[in-house]
Structure 1
Amino acid sequence: MTLDHLFTTIEELVLLHSPSGVESEIDGVLLERFKALGVETWQDDAGNVIAFLPGQSHERTLAITGHKDEIGMIVKAIEANGRLQIRRLGGTFPWVYGEGVVDILGDQRLLQGVLSFGSRHISHESPQKVFQENVPLKWEDTWVETKLSAAELEEAGVRPGSRVVVGNHRKRPFRLGGAYIASYTLDNKAAVAILLALAEQIQSPRYDVYLVASAKEEVGAIGVLHFTQRQKIDELIALEVCPIAPEYPVQAGEAPVLLSQDGYGVYDEQLNQRLREAAQQQGVPLQLAVLSGFGSDGSIAMKSGHVARSACLGFPTENTHGYEIAHLGAISNCIQLLRAYCEGEK
């Protein structure tokens, strides 16, 4: 897969709204794309979209997961003047999005509003003044302006619990410096693009492989816990962004990152060793890291006792859970490494 093709696939996925628990827009596309590749595909009760690649042997099973849900906002209350009180859905902050257009996913139709923080031309008499000078802005201090009545919002199906996401025209990715992709929700639409590429490229895996576009990861890894509770999985590899920060030895570029530990526990060292060997055989550069403020489908499923062995393979990403930047070569190298791992030595 060329970097241009990879960019186009990620762009398509990013523009499909999929806030945690309201993921049907991307579900239909993924089911169609997997089935078009001739792969056995279904969606389970938890909302996971699963593609199955039968192996030469059925004695072992591998799951590769990439979550399809994105962080966003959720409506807490609707005021009489049409303003929406909102709270976070997943780990994000209002200043990450800034004031601007958001899409409100009503039950009947999509509406647009403006994420608002209040005017700047104010004095100490205004309650907003403290956010300009002294206090971090919190979700409780923001709102979405709709300029619609409560009745009009109700007619569109906007209610407490409705999801709100960054407006689509603000989400469209662009190329940065040629080899980088920049946009919201690379976490984890780029990982889903990897799953699609694997479904297309893996020809004859050594053993059974499940490609799982997991649901509701950002709100507790609900999808993968459901899947691994019902399906026996011997190994699980979670695909993720990997944060670039001064506290971690992770550099931007085309080298993927293999984690040894995160905030939920240690990953399986034997599985990690096999992945390191596969990377060496393929000539894929690999970075190694231990993270603290982080978790994945893999670490959560293993900590819950649902899988015995898990790993997490990531692509270095700047501004995680914000306007993210990642090297397309790192994403492509994840595909190459996992394909080689699934197919084994030739």
Structure 2
Amino acid sequence: MTTDDRQLLQELLHAYGPGDQEHQVRAICSRELTPLADEIDVDASGNLVALLRGSDPDAAPVRVMAHMDELSMIVKRVEDDGSLRLSQLGTMYPGNFGLGPLTVLGDTEEFTAVLLLGSEHTTPETSQVWQTKPDGGDQAMQWSHVRAFTGRTPGELAEAGVHPGTRVCVHRSRRDVVESGDFIGSYFLDDRAALVALISAARLLRESGRLPVADVHLVCTTGEEMGGIGAAWASRTLPGEITLALDVGPAEAEYQVPASSGPVISYADDAAVYDKVLADHLMALGCELDLAPRAAVWEAYDSDASRSKASGQAARAALLSLPTLSTHGYEVQHRETSGRVARLLAEFLARPVPPKTG
């Protein structure tokens, strides 16, 4: 990862981007893509769409997507003591993020709260703690067990614009990139590292003087963690039949994907079977570039591309995954992962996309 890409990743990680409130992330992506694109716009779903014009006006356009939203929380209710009861936006649990500081994105004020379970020095009378103790109920910690302490009264929270539906995010102080040997770690590499790869691919094409064959719509999407909402809209409204997504993929033994491997090309997940011709083409290009690509069939997984195909908004779908440890938790990637994916994506866009054969 270059120094510039590392700085961009850190800036993206510090930006809050809960579902349907991704404007901080979108502003950074817009700044980076504007000098690289022929046109740039924000569509009705809040997606940022950057057009790279291709060399062949007769080639079918391609849509490439990486999502801006992050796993986050939403206020379910405000309690009489000023604490907040939370629910999840996306598939995550309190244990994934741990107890600690949060940022409450009130309508008129952004402020710090703390996610609490309760004291370990308690008995069964403090039921939410007891239920999660190994010598108590031995239950996995759920959202019903925890609360967000605000230190404010309900009236003060109302003045700050806090109500059911207010978004709550992991605090910025817990979103710094850390290094561990050849690896980096942080919350929300899903999907900020993929956004870096998407932007880097556009930069590689521009700096090399190469044009994509077909018109390419680079789409920074909204609401992926809530069901691929922005991607479905973009796949429906933008021209072309191909949607290719960039997203993290689980670096786990069951998929034979190590965290140090090159880009992972998926052939299927829980939502759809990916286009085999496109997947084979990506694998061949990855081998040609000596990127050590891996093939995988993901389970307990779907993406912007597979959801678009499953909903009938994309005729052909492909997925480039960034091998990642601890997905939907404190995530870890090899420092070269986003750069490898960027190189493969740039090459894919500069080569003719094979036609569908069967």
Q: 1:135 aligns with which of 107, 121, 139?
A: 139
- Residue of structure 2 in register with 1:166 after alignment: 170
Alignment RMSD (CA, Å): 1.3
Identity of aligned residues (%): 31
The residue type equivalent to 1:198 in the other structure is A
Work out whether 1:312 is the aligned partner of 2:313.
no
The residue type equivalent to 1:143 in the other structure is R
Q: CA deviation at 1:197?
A: 1.1
Q: CA deviation at 1:255?
A: 1.1
Could you give the per-residue CA deviations for residues 306-336 of structure 1, whole angstroms, max 9, x where no partner exists?
1111111111101111110011212211111
Q: For the residues of structure 1 that align with 2:65 and 2:143, how far apart are their CA atoms?
A: 31
Q: 1:278 aligns with which of 259, 277, 285?
A: 285
Q: CA deviation at 1:4?
A: 2.8
Q: CA deviation at 1:158?
A: 1.0
Work out whether 1:222 is the aligned partner of 2:229.
yes
Could you give the per-residue CA deviations for residues 103-134 of structure 1, whole angstroms, max 9, x where no partner exists?
00011121110001011001233212121121
Could you give the per-residue CA deviations for residues 119-173 of structure 1, whole angstroms, max 9, x where no partner exists?
1001233212121121111101111000101111111111110111110011111
- Residue of structure 1 in register with 2:103 after alignment: 103
What is the SS of the residue equivalent to 2:254?
A: coil
Q: 1:150 aligns with which of 149, 154, 161?
A: 154
- Residue of structure 2 in register with 1:197 after alignment: 200
Aligned ranges 1:228-307 → 2 under 5 Å: 228-307=235-314
Q: For the residues of structure 2 that align with 1:248 and 1:135, how far apart are their CA atoms?
A: 28
Contiguous gaps of at least 5 residues in structure 2:
353-358
Q: CA deviation at 1:32?
A: 2.1
Work out whether 1:185 is the aligned partner of 2:184.
no
Q: For the residues of structure 2 that align with 1:38 and 1:259, how far apart are their CA atoms?
A: 28
TM-score, normalised to structure 1, is: 0.96
Q: Is the 8 A contact 1:78 1:150 kept in 2?
A: yes
Q: Is the 8 A contact 2:285 2:344 kept in 1?
A: yes
Q: For the residues of structure 2 that align with 1:125 and 1:189, how far apart are their CA atoms?
A: 42
Q: For the residues of structure 2 that align with 1:291 and 1:337, how far apart are their CA atoms?
A: 20
- Residue of structure 1 in register with 2:45 after alignment: 46
More strand by share: 1
The residue type equivalent to 2:99 in the other structure is E
- Residue of structure 2 in register with 1:330 after alignment: 337
Work out whether 1:30 is the aligned partner of 2:37.
no
Could you give the per-residue CA deviations for residues 16-75 of structure 1, whole angstroms, max 9, x where no partner exists?
000111111112222222223354111001010011000011331111110010001000
Q: For the residues of structure 2 that align with 1:337 and 1:268, how far apart are their CA atoms?
A: 17
Work out whether 1:84 is the aligned partner of 2:84.
yes
Contiguous gaps of at least 5 residues in structure 1:
none
The residue type equivalent to 1:308 in the other structure is A
Q: For the residues of structure 1 that align with 2:250 and 2:10, how far apart are their CA atoms?
A: 21
Aligned residue pairs, count: 343
Could you give the per-residue CA deviations for residues 174-222 of structure 1, whole angstroms, max 9, x where no partner exists?
2221x31100000001111112112222231111111110100000100
Q: CA deviation at 1:342?
A: 0.9
Could you give the per-residue CA deviations for residues 195-254 of structure 1, whole angstroms, max 9, x where no partner exists?
211222223111111111010000010001011111222222110101123322111104
Q: For the residues of structure 1 that align with 2:284 and 2:36, how far apart are their CA atoms?
A: 29
Q: For the residues of structure 1 that align with 2:126 and 2:307, how far apart are their CA atoms?
A: 44
Q: 1:175 aligns with which of 173, 179, 184?
A: 179
